[in-house]
Every structure is written in C-alpha cells, then in structure tokens.
Amino acid sequence: MRRAIEAGITVVHINTEVRIAWRHGLESALSTQRNEIVPYEILPRVVDSIKPLVETRLRLFNSEWRVALPTS
C-alpha cells in the first residue's frame, strides 16, 4: 500500500473495512447491553470499535501523521 501511495495513488477506499468494524462493534455493544434501547448509550462503544482501524489506516497512508483522537 505504501508503495502505491509513493507511486502516486491518491484515493484509497476503506469504507467496507470501516463498515465491518462498525457492525462488529454494534453487535458487541448489543450483546453486552441487551436491555439498552437508547442509541446514545450504545453508539459510543460502536465508535470506539472503529477507532483502531481508522488510526491504523491513517498511519499507513501518511507516516508523518500523528493520531490525536478524542478520548471520549
């Protein structure tokens, strides 16, 4: 991937990976919070599940980039 970027590729689609991570995070949140019905109680765990993937991809795409994701 880095060689492709160095060669000039400017668009890399990671949407499917993000959607899969989001889905797994949702399934995990729903399985551990079975009685929860309020989205704002469930979704933070879902968002947290995609952060590592996004961080990894950003580091891959730009070695100079420093990740500064919010902690909450």
Each residue's pLDDT tens digit in the chain (72 positions)?
778 878 888 888 899 999 999 999 999 999 999 999 999 999 999 999 999 999 888 888 876 555 555 555
Position 3 in a domain: no
Domain that includes residue 58, residue range: 13-72
How many other β-carbons are positioned within 10 Å of the β-carbon of residue 46? 19
pLDDT of residue 62: 74
Cα–Cα distance for residue pair 50/63, rounded to 1 Å: 20
pLDDT of residue 64: 58
Cα–Cα distance for residue pair 52/3, rounded to 1 Å: 22
Put simply, whether the predicted model's pTM sits higher than 0.75 gets the answer no
CB 48 within 8 A of CB 69: no
Question: Which two tokens mark 61?
Answer: 């795409």
Count of structural domains within the chain: 1
pLDDT of residue 68: 56
Q: How far apart, in Å, are the Cα atoms of 53 and each of 3, 7, 28, 37, 56?
A: 20, 24, 16, 26, 5
Position 68 in a domain: yes
Position 66 in a domain: yes
